Structure formats: structure tokens, C-alpha cells
Structure 1
Amino acid sequence: MLTEYMQTANWPAFDEISPPKMVCFGIGNGSGSKLFQSYLDGHPQIYMVPAYILMYLYPHWDQWKDEYRDNWNWDTIINAFCIKHASLLDTRQIPGHDGMTTLGSDKNQWLEIDEKTFREFLTHLLRDQPISCKTFLLAVHYAYAYARNENLSNKKVLVYHIHVHEYVTKYLAPDFPNMIALGFVRDPRSNIKGRYESVVYIDKHKLNATDATVYRRRTYYYHSVWFTESLEYLKGLDPDSVRVVRHEDMHHRLENLMYATVNFLGIEFDDCLLHSTFGGLKWWGDKAYNMKPMNKPNPRVISLDWQKRLPLLDWFVLEGLFYNYCRKYDYPLYKYNKDNVFNRVIVFIAMLLPSHYEQRVFWNYIKFSNILAFYRDAWDEARDTTSLKDYGMNAYYRHKWSNTGLNLWKLRWYRRALKYAHNLHHNQKNSNSSLMFLVAVQWCYVIVNIFRYLWSIVTYPVMVVKRSMLFVQAFIRMIVKYEHLPESL
């Protein structure tokens, strides 16, 4: 039964809703953004959708403007949104690696809103409004809060977990020039292993086995881009409007941190800020981060176990690259503890050498057992096309920043040929010619993938050189003190 507030006669127009302060959330080179967001969940003065379900809204908008240019209206946009961002309506749809389907005390709950209510209120808000992504972004948050029976008149800020550093200056800042930003930092020496392995894990589960192996040559480079460049995208913002959260502080001083947060956001303190939830349900993290389910900060973040496993060369390079960063955010330096000419020369030479992870990927590429495993994976995919993943639906394949240029969402010619051959043989099961054609196409699929594998080995040094040049640029910024290091809460 609708409450009085939810009666359609009481629906406010878009312009009657007080515009919230925009909070650009989840950028930086740290970790713990979803954990911190879970502490903000349920605050009566905050508009927020769970996790980063709307991460790709802006690039989707650009895509839709092109695809639906002959029928560009609010109805078309709402329909496209409810398909491509279906997890906002029900987190079981297009699930991500965010723990949104294992919520609650028994880890078996999810978040769901009434689609009819959401659509109708969203349509009402957008009626007669000029079409823009800014308006749509606001209206989606209003409609989501409304569908959850939250009181819109109490809201003061909108926390948008944009997550992708490039989108800050490209999209959000131009739309909301007076926004504030909340990013995340963490000791890079502690963070590097878990962050790299989580990317490998996600690629392994999102991509076909052959693609995951072939594209692993790119992983450490893009991992390094994220590490060295994320904070740089905040340079154009007013320094007083940007703060970062040390992931470690969620362990050491959570209550003080949340008081500092509400002061920065301009809202009141609420007891919900000390509990990790999404949609009011306990949140347990996600297995992509190689962690046991826990409704609290992961103690691994403050552990010093990284000192036992981080190779000396990588340790020294990281401390050299992040020398000012570590001093700014109170991470003790052990190897590169003096920024002098001698240490700079050693670090410069060291960063030109392959890192531990780069060496490991290369040796895995040329290991005979892995070559055989790749050959088997290629044949498994060739024999059973139903096992091949659909790269057309999830925005990960088209819009993830590190997948740019791969055009994963476009079906490769050898995939199309394989699909055609299987369908032909299915329709002509008694035809020897269709069987022979299928076998020929299967062999073609395998051979193409073998060449892709060999190409990954041959071009791997190029990725190492690109990563080295990236580190050189970051090192120069460190030397001349041109890094962007916002104040922490």
C-alpha cells in the first residue's frame, strides 16, 4: 500500500526537488571504496545507489546517443537504461564482483526495487526536461530513493561511485563544476599484490579462457596506469573540495574518520555510519578480492605480511615512485628512505627492468604445460560454442577503461565463422559436408588462437617498455614534486 508520501498526486516535479551537492566518489589509487560506501549506506541525507552500478552511465549515454539518434527521447533512454543497468532494479541481474547478491546475515539476500514504481516516477520527473545526462543522473538517483521509500526532502548530497578516474574530468566535473570529491589511498606495497590478482581473477571469470590468457600481457601495464595516474586526474579540481581516505584508517579510527567525513560532506552524523551494509543488509565483501566473507575491514590491509613476499627490486622501485606519497600519507619507508642522487639512479635503472609480475607472466607464457593448457582451452571453445561468453551485454567488455581499443563487444570473424559452422551442422546433422566444414572451421579457430598466443609472447616486451616509460614519467613527477596528493580526512 502506498504511503501518503508515495501517492502520485504528491509527486514533486524535477525542479521542485532541491539539487543535492554532488560527491565524486571512489577514485584514487587505494582500495576500500565499496567498504567505505557501505558505511554511508542508509544515511537519510544521502542519495546513493549500491556499489558502482552506475559506473558506466556516462559512456553508455554517449553510446545511446549514437545508437538511438533517430529516436532520441526520454522513453528510449529509460528503456535502454533499465536493460543495461538492470542490476539497479535487481542486483541478481548483470551481477558484478561487488557482493550485492550475498547480503544479509545468511549471505543469501540481494537488493530489489519495484521496476514499475521506478519507471513511472522517473518518467514523471523527466517530463518536459531538456535531455541531458546530468539531468538523467540526478533523476535516476531521485527515482531510486523514491522506490525505496526514502524521503527526498531530507537529502543534501548525492554520492556517485564513478570509480573510473578518466570519467571525472571527461564527464562529471563539466556537469557538476561545484562538486566535491572523495578518493582513496593505501600503502602501495601492501596493495599491489591483491589489486593485481583481483584484476586477473575478474578477467578470468569475465573472458573466455583463450582471451583471458592472451590479454594477460596487458594487465600489469594497466594496473600500473591505475597506480600512478589515478590521483593525477583530480588536479583540475579545487584542492579544498578534494579529500582522500586512507584504507588503513577504516581499521584504526573508523568513528573519527566518519565524523571527519560528515563534516566534509556537510551532513549530520548518524549511527548507520559505523555499520557495513547495502540496502540495510550486512555486506560481506566479494571473493574477487581473495578474502573470507567479513562484515568489517579486512585485517590484511594493515598486515605487514607484504614485507615477506614483495621482491626487493619491486619494493625499492615502489618506494622510489611513491616517496612523496608515502611521506604524505604516513607510510614508513624502508628501502628508499633517502631521496638522493644515488638512490634515484638505482631506481631509474631498476624501473626499466621487468617487475616480478611481468617476469611471471612471461615465464608462464613459455611454460610448456601452459601452452598445452591453452591449446586445450582453444579446442574446448571450438567444440562447444555454448561455453563462449556473450561480450555484447555487460558494459565491462565495451566500456571498461582498460579494455579500450580491444573492441571485445564486436564478434571476431573466427567466432562468427565458428558459430555459423555449428549452426549449419546442427541443421544438417546427416550431412558429411557440413561436418567437414565444421571441423575445418574448428581447426581455423584453434590455429588463430595459437597465433594470438605467439603474438602475445612476441609483443610482451613492448608492454614492459610501455610500463617502464610510465614509471619514468611518474618518477619525474616525484622528483620535481608535481604529484597530486590531496589532503586526507
Structure 2
Amino acid sequence: MIPKEFKKIKTLVLLAGPGSGSKVFQSFIDGHHQVLMTPGYILMYFYPHWNKHLRHYENWNQLIKHFLKLHPSIIDASKLKGGDYLYNLGKKKNKSIKIKKKNFIKKINNYLKGEKINSKNFFLALHLAYASCLGENLKLKKILIYHMHVCWYMKNFYRDFENAKTITMLRELKSNIPKRIPALEKPNEMHLNKTDAIFFKTRSYKNIIFEDFFSLDYLKRFQDKSHRVVKHEDLITRKKNVMKKFCKYVSISNSKSLLNSTINNLTWNYKHDNKVELKNGVAKDIVYYNKKNFFYYELFWLNNLIKKFNKKYSYKTNKEKFTVLKFNIILSFFFIFLPSKKELNLFTNFFTFKFMKSYMEALYLEVFKIKLKLYEKNAFYFFKWSNKNYPFRLINFLNTRLNQKKNVIWIFFYILLKLLMFVFIPVVIILEYFLRIVFCLMVYFKNILGLRFFPKKL
């Protein structure tokens, strides 16, 4: 059974929010003797999986068996080939976290014996069994920290842990937006066939705008709970102070381990897309932004939308020439309707020979040369918030048929579908552009009406 003290254990949820650095922040927390935690995003989709697949089981054995199919990386972290970088740990970058499957199943069954089947008991047992397999001293644990990463499952978590606290990462938004777009597209290139990855680029800018402006505001519906934020930039300039305040916030002892970037006490080696200079284990370039990534009027409306955010969290708001006018708020309203540099480049790029050639070459390879990636099992295809409203099941049906046999009929339908998708790319770009306008106008009026949500900073 689950020990009584863990039924009431304090909990903290770590969120990326309108920022970056949640992984590096978690790597600083790693190794603290009072923290109960699984690394990276291993359990990010725990609640979607529970609600869809696991809650219907009437015995723990079947539930555990299904869970391990959905989350194999909890046994072998090297199977999670994503942005967690749990497969290149240690100074030589050749280690990962592996635990014995039989041992894990035995331990989790011991914790669940006699317990009611519900998400809270299973979530606790997972963490206890995992830590036990790694040889951690459970008697010292004072808090369970869950790297949920995105805020959209917080309602589920509060049902199980009503007194949970949160920490959300922040970053200067003009720096964050252009640099976060590749971070959103990289997993698509990893998990999707190329034609689908190309199609997904139509929604990247709008999705980043939505996440950066609405993730903090989403927490307002839980404003009676305890929320704090951490500026990614502060991990460069005042890391010791931030970690000290973190310890006070979650009621754990301060420790030197909080200054080291590790996973399971092994050096964590994040792979940056470009060579970057580090300071205190954090990329220094996060404090800069390039004006060339934006149109002039785009920077103007963006600066006005983030003005209150910047004031609250001591970010600098650049004063563009338009701001000498008394009607800057009115100008911002109209400028929002103009396309951003990213949106315009995306639209015009579609009509270039280079883009058409790239798409058609990818389609040819998918049909005749390569084995297609199947869109199944991985939660990425069905639960990732930015992947909603995409016909994964239909495409996966065709992918499966083509992989089994290159039948002329299935080839015809696959090519037909992909050509239709290609033709509709500019239409989708325009639709995404209008959605972005709607989101920006919502933020515009929420600013005027004072409806934004800005938690205190650590």
C-alpha cells in the first residue's frame, strides 16, 4: 500500500508557460534528496492517457501492462528520443536511465496492493516505484514535483492534488516567439512524414502566439491556488537567489546540488541547435532578440500587447517611433490586422519553385522509396495541444496500407490526399492568420479590461 505520508505529500507542477527553460530548471532540481520526481517529459501525457485508456481497467495488473506500452521510457529513458535529451547523459554523453522492468512492476504492485483504482493512487505509486528502483531514500522525500510542461491538464491534477503549487517559466516574448517556432517544428520533423511536417508549419506562428499569451491567463481560473513564475533570464543573472527562493516556496532545504544541471545525478547535456555560450549552465542568447525577425509595425503591436507583462516582470519595452503619438493603443489595434513577417514569408514561400519541388520530392519518396512513419501509440499524435484537428487516423490508415504493400489503389489515394493538402496550404495559412488576429485582439481587450493574470516572481 501507499504509505500514509505520501497520500498527503506536497506537490508542485512545473510549466513552460510563455517562456523557456523548464527542462534546465528541472535539471537544477534533480538530485535533491527531498524531491520525488521523474525526469523530463516522461509523464507529460499521464492524464490524457488515464482518461482515455487507463481509467476503465478493473485491476491493477492490466492497467500497469497497458501503461508501460504507452510510456516505455519510464523503464528505458533512451526510448524518449525528443527534446528531453535523456539518452546522452554523463560527461561522455553515453549514458541513459534504465531500470529493471520486473523490479519496477513488483514495486508498483506492492504500492498499489489494496488501493482503489484511481489516477491519484497510480500517479503516486509510479513515482514511489521509480524512485525506489533508483535507490533513492523515500523517507527523506517532502515534495513531489511533476514536469507537466503545458498547463492544459492542470484541472485534472487539481482534482487529485487540490493544494498543488505551480512554477511557470517566463522569457522576454520578442526573444521567445521567433526562437520557439523552430522548437515547435523540430518534434514534427522527428515524428511526422515530411509532407505532414511541411503542412504543420502553417500553424506554428499562431500556436506560439496562443501559448505565449494564454498559458498564464489559463491559470487565472485557479487563482485561489499558489502560483509563481521564474524568469529564464534570471537563471543567468541570479541563479543562486532564484534557487534559494524556490526552496523557501516549496519548503525544502537549500542544497549545492541545485546549482548543477543533472538528470539522475548524471550531467545533462542539452543539444542546442547552434553553438551557444553558456553562463551558469544557461544559454546566454536567451536575453537577446533580433529585430530582423519582425516587421516594424509588428514590433509595435507586440510591444503594446506585452507592455503590462513587461512592467510586471521588469522586461524592457522598446519604444518605437510610433509611440510618440498619443494614439498608440488605437494604432496597435489596426496593426494587429497586418500580417507578421513569419506569416507573409510562409505565404509567399508557397508559390516558389523551391517549395513546390521540396514538397513533391518528399511525396515521391514517401510513396515509392521509404517506409512511412505510423501515427499511433505515441501521445504526440493525439494529445499534444498544437496537433489538434489534424486527420492523423485517416493518414495513418493510408500509411499502414502503403507500408504493407505498394498497391496501386492505395498509392492513388495517398497521392490524391497529399496533393489536396498541398493545394490547401495557402488557404490554411490564411485561416491561421485570421485565428492569430482573433487571439491578439482577445489579448488586446483583456489588457484594456485588466483581465490578464501575472503571478508573483521568485
TM-score normalised over the length of structure 1: 0.88
Letter matched to residue 306 of structure 2: F
Judge conservation of contact 1:65–1:72 (CA < 8 Å) in 2. no
- Distance in 1 (alpha carbons) for counterparts of 2:325 and 2:142: 48
Residue 102 of structure 1 aligns with an amino acid whose one-letter code is N
1:59 and 2:43 aligned: no
Residue 24 (structure 2) pairs with residue 35 (structure 1): yes
Matches within 5 A, 1:78-117: 78-117=64-103
* 2-structure distance, mates of 1:473, 1:313: 19
Q: Given that residues 397 and 407 in structure 1 are in contact (C-alpha distance below 8 angstroms), is that contact kept between their aligned partners in structure 2?
A: no
Residue 462 (structure 1) aligns with: 431
Residues 284 and 310 of structure 1, relative CA distance in 2, 3 Å threshold: farther
Aligned match for 1:299, one of 280, 284, 298: 284
Measured against aligned partners, the alpha-carbon deviations of 1:276-327 in whole angstroms (never above 9, x if no partner) come to: 101101112134x54559681001112x352454432332122111110011
SS in 1 for 2:270: coil
| Partner residue in 2 for 1:3 | none
| 1:183 lines up with 2:168 in the alignment | yes
Q: Which aligned pairs between 1:19-418 and structure 2 lie closer than 5 A?
A: 19-65=8-54, 69=56, 71-169=57-155, 171-238=156-223, 241-287=226-272, 289-290=273-274, 296-302=281-287, 304-307=288-291, 309-335=293-319, 342-386=327-371, 388-409=372-393, 411-418=395-402
Structure 2, unaligned runs of 5 or more: none
1: CA distance, partners of 2:377 / 2:7: 35
Structure 1 Cα separation of the partners of residues 43 and 376 of structure 2 = 18
TM-score (normalised: structure 2): 0.94
Tell me the amino acid that sits aligned with residue 233 of structure 1.
Answer: Y
Q: Which residue of 1 aligns with 2:451?
A: 482
Let me know the Cα RMSD of the aligned residues: 2.2
Q: Structure 2: how far apart are the matches of 1:390 and 1:396?
A: 12
2:125 partner letter? A
Give 1:373 deviation, angstroms.
1.5
Give, in angstroms, the shift of residue 345 of structure 1: 1.5
Equivalent residue for 1:427? none
The separation in 2 between residues aligned to 1:444 and 1:239, in whole angstroms, is: 52
Counterpart amino acid of residue 160 in structure 1 = Y
Displacement of 1:385 after TM fit? 4.8
| 1:4 alignment partner in structure 2 | none
Q: 1:105 touches 1:282 (CA, 8 Å); kept in 2?
A: yes
Q: Distance in 2 between matches of 1:60 and 1:471?
A: 32
1:161-203 deviations in whole A, cap 9, x for unaligned? 111221112x112221111111111100111111011112221
CA deviation digits over 1:360-386, x for unaligned, max 9? Answer: 211222212211221111111011351
CA distance in 1 between partners of 2:332 and 2:148 (Å): 34
Q: Retained in 1: the 8 A contact 2:277–2:284?
A: no
Instruction: Assess, with a 3 A threshold, how the Cα gap between structure 1 residues 58 and 305 changes in structure 2: closer, same or farther.
Output: closer
Segments of structure 1 that go 5 or more residues without pairing to the other structure are 1-11, 423-437
The whole-number CA distance in structure 1 between the counterparts of 2:429 and 2:175 is 26
CA distance in 2, matches of 1:357, 1:87: 35
Whole-angstrom CA distance in 1 between matches of 2:397 and 2:22 = 39
Q: How many residues align?
A: 456
Conserved? CA contact 1:24–1:161, under 8 Å: yes
Larger Rg: 1
Confirm or deny: 8 A CA contact 2:262 2:268 kept in the other structure. Answer: yes
Q: Secondary structure at the match of 1:24?
A: strand
Aligned-pair identity (%): 30
Measure, in 1, the Cα distance between the counterparts of 2:16 and 2:218: 9
